[in-house]
Structure 1
Amino acid sequence: MKLPIFIADAFTARAFCGNPAAVCLLENELENDTYQNIAKEMNLSETAFIRRLSPTDNFAQSSCFGLRWFTPASEVPLCGHATLASAAVLFYKMSNVNFFKQSVTVLFLVGRHSGGVYVIQVQKTMLHEYFLLFCGIKALALSVFLRSFCLLAQTAIGDTLVQDIQYSPDTHNLLVRLSDSYKRSFLETLKVNTENLPHIENTGKVKGLILTLKGEPGGQTQAFDFYSRYFAPWWDVAEDPVTGSAHTILSSYWSQQLGKKQMRAFQCSRRGGELNIALRPDGRVDVKGAATVVLEGTLMV
């Protein structure tokens, strides 16, 4: 069996920056072991699998697709950057006609395999840039953290000064805000111990660690409202370069802290990535970013 396979860098307009994701186009469902083996072979933080839901349409004509995401270790319930990468492949490589119509969106239906049914809408807004809307996914609420999470944070970042810790029960992510006394360069160079985190927290309550820092809106040529880094060793991903799904949590937190509904964010990984965020009145999150296809090939299965 021959499957079209691509790699696209998401949340960047430049190749070799942002967050790379593999995108595999399917005519039919695969065996679960095959999904996982392909993700292992690609060895990226996520591999997305797109399947046409209408058998009469081709990839250039369809406006509705099934979408699944796999890390090298397991399937995950949501992945923003791999969704953006999937949209880039459909537009640039499949010439999907729906991206040329401003009034039409391409829908990714995510269902039983990811633990919940919802719709992700993606619409092209301008050259090399997409409008990524998590439709039906609201800015995720945070709750009071447990004391045991303090040990987890201390293991990860040592004696680094912490200003706030919050927990997202919906996504099992722990948000750790560093002291406002730190600058962006500190977060970028901070050595984070991820190896021991799954051993310290093995109850399933935490599946991801978000480190975040208040931005410096007036002090840089390119101003950002907040910075972040994301770690998920529980999913066999030590550090994710740019994480769209984590920004559903970050957007809620920083909107409350800054009193803003529109924000510009930068994820401070080695590759780096920029995201423009807007919170709608109904609580949904719009995340806007660029994507660039860097590889095209055929997978022999």
Structure 2
Amino acid sequence: MVYNDISDETKLKIAKELNQPMVAFVSKGEDNESVYNIRYFTTGQEIPLCGHATVGTTYALYANQTTAGRIKQFNFTTKSGRKLTANVSDDSLVTLSMPSILSTRVHLNDRWTQTLIKTLGKDVDESVVHEVCKSSDFAIIVFKDSAKNRLLELKPDFDAMNKLERNGIKNGIVVTQRADYRSTGFHFYSRVFLPWVGLNEDLVCGHAHTQLTPYWTQRLAITGQTLVGKQCSRRPGIVRCRINGDSVDISGNAVYTLAHKKARMRHECDL
């Protein structure tokens, strides 16, 4: 929780000082005690939405309450006016409902698509790519099932990514691949690259899963079930996601590790 009058410049300075992939700032909304305004900052700039940070924020707000009469549902409004709802279960599992994002397939032989694939590194070409899809939020590059370990071994050229024509995409590039659910317990793997917003690789990205979930639900022909995705960053995370009408319900656990309270003091002196 932060004071309403902290400037955006100060928020960015705090994010740089904390040096985490994402920092969320929340302030009380005007409607009721369970409504909050939320904003997200990387070390480089503000971004419009971060599911992972919202899950952590929800649990922090939940854990900060007195035990008696705890609120378990929290509503957030982003800077752009997007509405988010999060619920905390009795076993502290946080489920965040976010608008789903549908993808449009793009041609593999398109010049932009070829350039996009090349940003993944010199060892990657279209021979390992099943298809490429995009929305206004993310480009999704889907690797073939036969391209084993290629997703884990990726060494993207972030300079090339930053120079890439964004083609109407705001956030970044997602690489994904089908997993063998029977042997791994996962339906798909992913990695998320966001150099355009000051974060080369996001450790776990809930926002990207709002586009991955409808894609894999359709591709795997799984309706009405929870999909389990593993984001294979250096600090991997497991995301449980399920289509719920026009939204995606994303579930995960959070841990409350540190609290800091800053007292505002007024100093006076005689000159």
TM-score interval for Structure 1 and Structure 2 normalised by the shorter chain: 0.7 to 0.9
Could you tell me how far apart the structure 2 residues matched to 1:236 and 1:117 are?
23
Which of 31, 38, 41 aligns to 2:17? It is 41
Taking structure 1 as reference, are residues 47 and 299 closer, same or farther at Cα in structure 2, changes over 3 Å only?
farther
TM alignment of 1:261-276, pairs within 5 A: 261=223, 262=225, 263-276=227-240
SS in structure 2 opposite 1:218? helix
Per the alignment, residue 244 of structure 1 pairs with: 206
Identity of aligned residues (%): 29
Partner AA of 2:140 in structure 1: L
Could you tell me how far apart the structure 2 residues matched to 1:130 and 1:269 are?
21
User: What whole-Å deviation, never above 9, does each CA across 1:259-279 have from its counterpart, x for those lacking one?
Assistant: 113311110111111111111
SS in structure 1 opposite 2:59? helix
Greater RCO (CA < 8 Å, at least 6 residues apart): 1
Partner AA of 2:8 in structure 1: N
Does residue 165 of the first structure (1) align with residue 127 of the second (2)? no
- Give 1:179 shift: 1.4
Which structure 1 segments of 5+ residues have no match? 1-24
Could you tell me how far apart the structure 1 residues matched to 2:51 and 2:200 are?
17
Per the alignment, residue 156 of structure 1 pairs with: 120
User: What whole-Å deviation, never above 9, does each CA across 1:162-205 have from its counterpart, x for those lacking one?
Assistant: 11111112x1x11001111133x442232222232112336664
SS in structure 2 opposite 1:26? coil
Could you tell me how far apart the structure 2 residues matched to 1:204 and 1:96 are?
46
Does residue 260 of the first structure (1) align with residue 222 of the second (2)? yes
Per the alignment, residue 178 of structure 2 pairs with: 214
Q: Which has the higher strand share?
A: 1
- Contact 2:44–2:197 (CA under 8 A) maintained in structure 1: yes
Could you tell me how far apart the structure 2 residues matched to 1:270 and 1:94 are?
33
Could you tell me how far apart the structure 2 residues matched to 1:187 and 1:53 are?
41
Per the alignment, residue 77 of structure 2 pairs with: 109
How many residues align? The count is 257
Give structure 1 regions of 4+ aligned residues with deviation exceeding 6 angstroms: none
- Contact 2:22–2:40 (CA under 8 A) maintained in structure 1: yes
User: What whole-Å deviation, never above 9, does each CA across 1:129-159 have from its counterpart, x for those lacking one?
Assistant: 111111xx13333343553132121122334
Which structure 2 segments of 5+ residues have no match? 265-271
Per the alignment, residue 17 of structure 1 pairs with: none
Partner AA of 1:40 in structure 2: K
Could you tell me how far apart the structure 1 residues matched to 2:68 and 2:30 are?
15
SS in structure 2 opposite 1:210? strand
TM-score (norm 1): 0.78
Per the alignment, residue 292 of structure 1 pairs with: 255
TM alignment of 1:63-212, pairs within 5 A: 63-95=34-66, 99=70, 105-110=73-78, 113=79, 116-134=80-98, 137-144=99-106, 147-160=111-124, 161-169=128-136, 171=137, 173-183=138-148, 185-201=149-165, 205=169, 207-212=171-176
CA-based RMSD of the aligned residues comes to: 2.3
Per the alignment, residue 268 of structure 2 pairs with: none
- Give 1:97 shift: 6.5
- Give 1:298 shift: 4.0
- Give 1:27 shift: 3.2
SS in structure 2 opposite 1:35? helix
User: What whole-Å deviation, never above 9, does each CA across 1:226-276 have from its counterpart, x for those lacking one?
Assistant: 000000111110100000000011011111100113311110111111111
